[in-house]
Amino acid sequence: MAKTAGRARTTAASALGSLDFALDRGSPVPLYHQLAQQLEAAIGRGVLAPGNLLGNEVDLSVRLGLSRPTVRQAIQSLVDKGLLVRRRGVGTQVVHSQVRRPLELSSLYDDLEAAGQAPATEVVRHEVVAAACDVAAALGVPEGSEVTVLDRLRRTHGRPVALLCNYLPVSLLDLDSARLESTGLYRMMRSAGITLHSARQTIGARAATAGEASRLDEREGAALLTMRRTAYDDTGRPVEYGTHIYRASLYTFDFQLLVRP
């Protein structure tokens, strides 16, 4: 254990040593904010990796020629964003970069894997239920007919980031819980010959309930992002209806906006 911690400190020290902090003391942007931005960029690029230790505030302030309160404020701003964590007896440690997901028809699992976010899945519920009116309307089936429901907890680097609830036509494909914990739902659809074509999606926000907060390692009332999506295959058939919630402290959606000609 001591050897592992020592390696983490060495890696972080060498990573910090390779960073060229460009702090403009004549800028109207506060020094703590400049430092925080550059540390956040280094985390986003993977120069500072999850598990790396930054060292103590005194060492950083001496190295950068900044006051200790300035360094403390920069670090605290990244702690508040969920990028760093203070561990007693260990120091300030990189957690991971925030998940930024593009708004396109892709699975969370594939997006996290492509971003090097080490996705892991726990299947909480996998059963056949009677379709409620909203589920039936989304999937184009009679209310009360059988549909498959999946509840999954998605983690990155060991930390919970999302709760996913998906409904599918019961005859769509065979779903195995063990396989669902090792890959993504859309990847399983593609393997079954289902070609995803389009989706209707709504994004919102709300406060976490006590149960959701417990599962997501958040406090009750914490901000959550919500997503409601109905996905269609290339024949126009609805193949999946999902209602997902994400930790706003760790997750964002990226938009690309174009001017209409």
Structure tokens given for 48: 């500072």
* Nearby residues of 60 by Cβ (< 8 Å), 6 or more positions away: 16, 54, 66, 71
Q: Which residue has the higher pLDDT, 196 or 221?
A: 221
Residues 156 and 219 in one domain: yes
The predicted structure's pLDDT at residue 233:
87
Which residues sit opposite 155 in a β-bridge? 120, 160
Chain center to CA of 12: 23
pLDDT tens digits for range 116-169: 556 788 999 999 999 999 999 999 999 999 999 999 998 887 788 899 999 999
Residues 161 and 37 in one domain: no
Length, in residues, of the chain: 261
Q: Is residue 6 part of a domain?
A: no
Q: Is residue 99 part of a domain?
A: no
The predicted structure's pLDDT at residue 17:
59
Model's pTM, two decimal places? Answer: 0.59
Domain finish residue from 94, 124, 149: 94
Residues 34 and 133 in one domain: no
Residues 205 and 115 in one domain: yes
The predicted structure's pLDDT at residue 259:
63
Q: Is residue 3 part of a domain?
A: no
pLDDT band at residue 258 using 50, 70 and 90 as cut-offs:
low
pLDDT over threshold 80, residue 56 = no
Report the alpha-carbon distance of residue 246 to residue 31 in Å, rounded: 32
Q: Which domain holds residue 189?
A: 108-247
The predicted structure's pLDDT at residue 62:
84
Cα–Cα–Cα angle for 206, 44, 14, rounded to 5 degrees: 140
Domain count, the chain: 2
pLDDT tens digits for range 207-257: 999 999 999 999 999 999 898 989 998 888 899 999 999 888 777 766 555
Q: Which residue has the higher pLDDT, 147 or 182?
A: 147
Q: What is the mean pLDDT of residues 21-36?
A: 85
Q: What is the mean pLDDT of residues 173-188?
A: 86
Residues 63 and 156 in one domain: no
Q: Is residue 100 part of a domain?
A: no
DSSP code, position 28: S
pLDDT over 90, % of the chain? 28
Report the alpha-carbon distance of residue 259 to residue 113 in Å, rounded: 31
